[in-house]
Amino acid sequence: MTVKIDAQGGISTMRGRLFGHGSVRREALQTVQSRDPVRSTVDYTVTPVSEVFGSNVFNRNVMKKLLPKNVYKAVLRCLDHGEQLDPAMADIVANAMKDWALARGATHFTHWFHPMTEQTAEKHDSFLSAAGADGGAILEFSGKLLIQGEPDASSFPSGGIRSTFEARGYTGWDPTSPAFLIESTNGKTLCIPTVFCSYSGHALDKKTPLLRSLEVLNKEAVRLLHILGNRQVQRVISTVGPEQEYFLIDEAFYLARPDIINCGRALFGARPPRGQEMEDHYWGSIKERVLAFMMDAEAELYKLGVPVKTRHNEVAPAQFEVAPVFEQSNVATDHNLLLMEVFRKTAQKHGLRCLFHEKPFSGVNGSGKHNNWSMADDEGNNLLEPGSTPLENTQFLVLLTAVVRAVNKYSGLLRAAIAHAGNDHRLGANEAPPAIMSIYLGDTLTEVVNALIAGQKEMKSAHGKVVLQFGVSTLPDLPRDDSDRNRTSPFAFTGNKFEFRAVGSSQSIAFPNTALNTMVAESLDYMSNELEKLTKGGMDISAAAEKVVRETLKENQRILFNGDNYSQDWHEEAAKRGLPNYHNTVEALPEYIKEDVKELFRNYNVLSEDEMIGRYNVRVAQFCKTINIEWLLTKSIARTMILPAALEYQSRLAATIVQTKNAVSGINLTIQENMLRDLTDKVSELLIALERLEQPMNSGNGSSGHGDAETYTMCKFYQDEVIPAMQAVRDAADELETLVDDSLWPLPKFREMLYIY
Ligand code: ADP
Ligand code: MG
């Protein structure tokens, strides 16, 4: 018999190979060993970062150079003040964009949009409009093509908003997010960020409501700031910096894991003997192949003008994080989607695969996306930065109070905005923010808030006496590390911004930010109305602000919590406070169609009732479909990969026992027989669990595309019946992984995938 040492140092025999069960896995191990770090196409010693950055973006600098002055000014008014761009001007912009793109080797253009999935959509058109009379090519790109496209919308999720007979959808240019060139092996494509809506004008995408929410936030914030006496402000935007977590595994392992290929996560796999307990991966030195990947991906993102800033190893083995510098939330959303796309593509170039699933590997930490959120005025001042003057401090406290009120009033909506099948593995588990939404303010700010609620005019801080009278108030310095002490809070004030930590790593940040912008706009509106009532009654604005802040904080203080969000005590306390605690997606999603939520979006013209119901339907259906795919795969992997390996081992053990008994008469093999018995028990357990998994599926069908009450029933069915049945199959299979001959095991194990690059 040929015996071979494999890459793991384990011994495998030719017999194992012939039977083939474990061979794919062993070949994967060998492939991984032969890999080298891959070079980036960018060499910063030749082209400095400053030249690379934005080189594939049709940004302000480019427009300033290429557009006539009056057109450029009109574009700026459109970007900075939300003015409409005249179609004649759009023609000129389109021409300049085309010339710029052609000069860089582009052959095609596409409207690039966000349907109601977590990803983007693109359909490429060449610039070629017709063959000229002389047989030459005519390249054309008009203002009309820039401004509007007409994709067939019938295959995008709509949640029933658009009936299939009205298949036409429209894409419309979003000039607030710059056009860019995507490079691929054989050429470049001009991508134009657009919105996507139906013939009847319903938003079929995630960007339209995000842009609408930015408009209302702007309107309500400017109004409030004017009331407070800050009259020079003309525009307010929300700013977002999404920190993105992800896993990287070698492509050879990935290709041997049908579950990761199709579901983005391992549906099977025993806990690795070495998990994250050594605490040595977090911020550890980055392995060469991984760093080569990161730098290459960053170079591509620099070209696209995506300001990626930090990179590091995360808590779980094979887990990493990248964070950009914050931007206006619409651009930040586009850039986060681009980042994910570039990471996926670049990983493949490096023989790796990038996993954005919230929980690819059970037993180690999952991935999130910390959505850092704030507001800024047209001069770039961060409006959640505690100020140095009494006016700034008054403004800060009023805005802070508005956010506190918004999160308290719509905490259910915030929870629903981040609810999806992948995130259910994370939220509420002992590693990530809990499912109960609450706000952490840090010790110092909490003292301020308590003093304000109590009506105290001054308080003591580490720096001495602090005056808390509006109009003359001096806020204590808020120590930054105050906010870092609590990593368990889902919504933490981190010194000059809020960090919404419950967003899933695979999710688009568009809707969570749409919800945030809209609910904060509603609170700003409320504050303005209250202030106006008081000032009209003759109260001066400082006294009015003080009164409104005190009363509003008092009414909404149940949402404030500085303690350990994982503790049982908090769960009990939160229940007493009446805070919603939705354990999973199925419980959370109905928030979308609650009266007060529908009213919120309707009143501020962000989403109509139909659009909101459509979104709810899409999410319900997405949940069903996700679990349905997992169900199908669990069944097929268990039946066709795990069972055969286990049965093969069972047969070998049985044969060994029989042969030994024949060879040595009267030998006592009780222990070995017990070993065989244990194994067969486990195999039977797996089979019983598998049969159970197959049964309930007769009562459900995951293919329904358009959600409604029926689909919601199905969604509950998946949650209550299918998920536990899948878990039972997994439990038995994972135990078999620890019993069966390693050389027969067909699926790369966690101990390999998470450690070998
Ligand atoms: P950390 O959370 O590790 O202390 P930072 O506070 O510097 O790191 O930033 C984390 C993320 O928050 C980054 O993406 C950063 O750009 C973003 N961020 C910083 N300030 C703001 C702001 N005013 N608005 C939105 N995001 C911000
Ligand atoms: Mg952070």
324 C-alpha vs ligand 2 centroid, how far in Å?
Answer: 11
Confidence tier at 430 by pLDDT (50, 70, 90): low
Q: Is residue 117 part of a domain?
A: yes
- 1 pLDDT higher than 50: no
Tokens of 57: 């973006």
Predicted local distance difference test score (pLDDT) of residue 450: 92
Task: Evaluate: CB of 241 within 6 angstroms of ligand 1.
Answer: yes
User: Is the shortest distance between the CB of 14 and ligand 1 below 6 Å?
Assistant: no
- Whether 197 and 57 share a structural domain: yes
Question: Residue 454, SS3?
Answer: coil
Q: Residue 133 sits in which domain range?
A: 49-205
Closest ligand to Cα 487: 2
Report the C-alpha gap between 217 and 238 in whole angstroms: 8
Is 142 found in the same domain as 13? no
Q: pTM (2 decimals)?
A: 0.94
CA of 178 to the centre of ligand 2 (A): 27
As a whole number of angstroms, the distance between CA 30 and CA 11 comes to: 13
Q: pLDDT tens digits for 310-339? A: 999 999 999 999 999 999 999 999 999 999
Q: Residue 372 Cα, ligand 1 centroid: separation in angstroms?
A: 6
373 CA closest ligand 1 atom index:
25
Distance 241 CA to ligand 1 centre (A): 6
Torsion of Cα atoms, 432 then 438 then 439 then 443, to 10° = -90
Whats the size of the chain, residue-wise?
A: 757
Residue 335 lies in a domain: no
How many whole angstroms from 370 Cα to the centroid of ligand 2? 7
Q: For residue 385, what pLDDT is reported?
A: 92
Which ligand is nearest to the Cα of residue 501, counting in written order? 2
- Output the six-digit token pair for 343: 């990471």
Are 108 and 132 in a shared domain? yes
201-220 average pLDDT score: 95
Tokens (6 digits) for 323 = 């964070």
Q: How many Å apart are CA 246 and CA 726, to the nearest integer?
A: 25
Last residue of some domain: 186, 205, 224?
A: 205
**Same domain? 96 vs 11:** no
How many Å lie between the centroid of ligand 2 and the Cα of residue 358?
A: 17
Ligand 1 atom nearest the C-alpha of 242 is 14
Mean pLDDT, residues 648-667 taken together = 97
- Among 205, 233, 258, give the residue marking a domain's end: 205
Ligand 1 midpoint to CA 406 (Å): 21
Domain for residue 734, yes or no?
yes
Read off the pLDDT of residues 507-542 as tens digits, 9 standing for 90 and up.
Answer: 999 999 999 999 999 999 999 999 999 999 999 999
Give the domain CATH number at 163.
3.10.20.70
22 and 91 belong to one structural domain: no
| pLDDT for the residue numbered 8 | 40
pLDDT classification of 697: cutoffs 50, 70, 90: low
DSSP assignment, residue 152? B
Q: Are 400 and 408 in contact (CB under 8 A)?
A: no
Nearest Cα residue to atom 13 of ligand 1: 241
Q: Does ligand 1 have an atom closer than 6 angstroms to the CB of 328?
A: no
Q: Which pLDDT tens digit goes with each residue over 578-602?
A: 999 999 999 999 999 999 999 999 9
Question: 18: pLDDT confidence band, cut at 50, 70 and 90?
Answer: very low
Question: Residue 667, class by beta-carbon neighbours within 10 Å (0-12 exposed, 13-18 middle, 19+ buried)?
Answer: exposed
User: Is 131 found in the same domain as 75?
Assistant: yes
**pLDDT, the chain, mean:** 90
Single out the residue of 343, 363, 251 nearest to residue 295, CA to CA. Answer: 343
Domains in the chain: how many in total? 3
- Number of the ligand 1 atom closest to the C-alpha atom of 496: 23
Q: State whether the beta carbon of 565 lies less than 6 angstroms from ligand 1.
A: no
Taking alpha carbons only, the member of 308, 301, 294 closest to residue 349 is 294
> Which of 330, 493, 497, 520 best tests ligand 1's pocket when mutated (most atoms within 8 Å of CB)?
497
> Do 160 and 12 share a structural domain?
no
CA distances for 350 relative to 39, 49, 281, 297, 347, angstroms: 9, 22, 21, 10, 5
Q: Which two tokens stand for residue 233?
A: 């402000």
Both 640 and 723 in one domain: the answer is: yes
What is the Å distance from ligand 1's center to 625 Cα?
Answer: 35
User: Rounded to whole angstroms, what are the CA distances from 120 to 37, 117, 195?
Assistant: 29, 8, 11
Same domain as 98, residue 153: yes
Tens-place pLDDT, residues 76-85: 998 888 788 8
Torsion of CA 419, 422, 427, 431, to 10 degrees: -160
